[in-house]
Amino acid sequence: MSLRDRIELLRSHDLGTGTLLERLARIHGDRPLVTEDGDDGLSLTYNEGADLVARFGAAIASRISPGDRVVVATPNGYGLFLLCLAVGRAGGVAVPVNPKMRDDEIAHVIDDSQASLVIRSTSEVDGSPPGRAVPVDPDDVGALFYTSGTTGRPKGAQLTHKALVSQAARGVLYPSGLRHDESVTGMPVAHIAGFSMLVLQASLGVPVYLLRKFRPDTALDAIEQRRATMFVGVPAMYRMMLEAGAEQRDLSSVRIWASGADAMPFDLAQRFQRLGATVTVPLLHKSLGAAAFFDGYGMVELGGGVAVKLSPPGIPLHLGGLVGFPMPGVKMKVVDDSGNEVPRGEVGELAVKGPGVMRGYHGKSDATREAFTEEGWLRTGDLARQRRFGLVEFAGRKKDVIKHGGYSVFAVEVETELQQHDAVLEAAVVGLPDERKGEIPAAAVILRERAALAPEELISWAGERMADYKVPQRVLIVDELPRTGTEKVQKAEVKKLFDGVSAEIPVRPGANG
């Protein structure tokens, strides 16, 4: 099949989630699609995957009407992904839920989405003969992805079929038949970052080795033993692999490291680049150069990634806190509370337009109106500054601004600085109530393995490197941080870590201004 035919096949006016794998199977046939970890894990070709979607879809279609919501609450794995595609094939709206969610949280999603069917195992829809796909409009809602709920109750973002599979046509441009590739990932499938990654990998023709439960040792074993050429994770996974001895492993087979769902520190990305390689010399089995690193920016309401930063192999390109270069069709601007664009260099809220932007929040018209400007730009809730050449610099979450004595302290800037300390693996900065100053910066910190550091030492160190009003007034050393299913730190839970903990920690003289 020619490249033009491949692109047209995936640009067809009726392409939806339910027909994606069927069409990819016409391109890749019996080439491997996925292998899961464990003796009981799936191992499928494209043809086998497409057949399962057709069978699951037929069983689901017999139990729902077009447009019905179907909650997919199976264990994490490729089966969850196939079921979501099958719901789309049946004309339904897939509602994937993270298996780490509590029963009451899952009950909220079932109730809020008004689901007509809940699937908790692939065995519930197995055994039917393959069925034809129910026709859908690409602009119809294909899935509800619920927000991670870091603040308030999760809301269902309505994502269209087009938003979920639009990247497929670009994926077939990758020359997958010219080289051996395999990607290792432990991303949770029920989250938009993990789901969109599986869509992209399938479109690229790159088989996936899926870790159903991420463990750093297991991930490193998989990369090393399978000679994987790609790894996709979130920053927390990279930190855990580093702590698990990544620099003592042979990871030279990796050509591309990729990250998403949270901000990736430049120095951490650079360390992994050096562990990979640009090329391996045949016969000599000698690896040369460094790997490339892709860092994506996106969120549920954007339908996944909308911008990407690339650090090419061998080029120390430090893009700092830039959100990245917008993907095709995506526009970005920085606005004030009224939706007006702010002058370049000033901090405002990042607003985005693009093909993947959600239609709205399911059943929540007020929340939907608040999420968009009058001109239809989605407010991301992220603070940013407009830079030259249309680039945008990330300045933190809007709700992560600490108001300290009349100053605005951006938590992400303090976290980035604290993580420069040799003993600090990760820092989470929050604002704690203070009668005199309104709020004070406080940091919960994870130390590197075998590192020792007293809170007052870190406070003193920080005081020499940042403005007084930014210096954390309280520091708490912790073994772990509370996280969402995509490993994002839950700031509301971090604040609770300080409850009942003595505030009697020395502060650098003058730090309170």
348 and 309 in one domain? no
Give the phi and the psi of residue 327 in degrees, each rounded to 5. Answer: -70, 160
**What would you report as the CA-atom Rg of the chain, rounded to the nearest whole angstrom?**
23
Flag whether 352 is in a domain: yes
Same domain, 240 and 361: no
3-state secondary structure of 231: strand
Which parts of the chain sit beneath pLDDT 50? 150-151, 504-513
Domain annotation covers residue 291: yes
169 and 94 belong to one structural domain = yes
Asked if 54 and 136 sit in the same domain, the reply is: yes
pLDDT at 513: 39
Taking the CA of residue 19 as centre, how many other CA atoms within 13 Å lie in the half-sphere pointing to its CB?
20
Residue 512 located in a structural domain: no
Contact status, residue 186 vs residue 260, Cβ threshold 8 Å: no
Which CATH number belongs to the domain containing residue 482 in this structure?
3.30.300.30
Specify the number of domains making up the chain.
Answer: 4
Taking only the tens place, the pLDDT of each residue in 253-279 is 999 999 987 778 888 899 999 999 987
Residue 382 and residue 409 in one domain = no
In terms of domains, do 285 and 423 share one?
no
Q: Give the predicted TM-score (pTM) of the model.
A: 0.81
CA angle 214, 218, 221 (to 5 degrees): 145
Last residue of one domain, picked from the residues 346, 363, 390: 390
Rounded-to-integer distance, Cα 451 and Cα 399, Å: 31
Report yes or no on 422 lying in a domain. Answer: yes
CA distance 444 to 164: 36
Of 291, 314, 337, which one is at a domain's C-terminal end? 314
Determine the pLDDT at residue 511.
41
Q: Transcribe 289-357 into DSSP letters.
A: S--EEEEEEEEGGGTEEEEEEEE-TT-----TTB--EEPTT-EEEEE-TTSPBPPTTSEEEEEEE-TT-
Judgement on whether residues 14 and 84 belong to the same structural domain of the protein: yes
Q: Give me the pLDDT at residue 177, please.
A: 63
22 and 98 part of one domain: yes
> 404, 270, 266: which is closest to 322 by C-alpha?
266
* Domain range enclosing 437: 398-497
The DSSP line for 216-233 is: HHHHHHHHHHHT-SEEEE
* Amino acid letter, 49: G
C-alpha 59/C-alpha 87 separation (Å) is 10
- Verify that 226 and 289 share a domain, yes or no: yes
**Amino acid occupying residue 335:** V
pLDDT score at 503: 53
Both 338 and 292 in one domain: the answer is no
Q: Is residue 513 part of a domain?
A: no
Task: Mark whether 230 and 378 lie in a shared domain.
Answer: no
Classify the C-alpha dihedral 242-244-248-251 as positive or negative.
negative
CA distance 13 to 192: 23
What SS3 state is found at 219?
A: helix
Q: Do the bridges between strand 292-299 and strand 141-146 make them parallel or antiparallel, or are there none, so unpaired?
A: unpaired
Decide: 284 and 355 in contact? Cβ < 8 Å.
no
pLDDT for the residue numbered 504 = 44
Measured CA to CA, the distance from residue 68 to residue 229 in angstroms comes to: 40
511 part of a folded domain: no
* Position 197 in a domain: no
Give the residue among 89, 26, 15, 27 at the shortest CA–CA distance from 52: 89
Residue after which a domain boundary falls, among 314, 341, 367: 314
Query: Cβ–Cβ contacts within 10 Å for residue 502, how many?
Result: 7
- Give me 404's structure tokens: 């300290």
| Model pLDDT, residue 84 | 98
* C-alpha to C-alpha distance for 297 and 193, rounded to whole angstroms: 10
Q: Do 1 and 130 sit in the same domain of this protein?
A: yes
Residue 354 backbone phi and psi in degrees, to 5: 175, 170
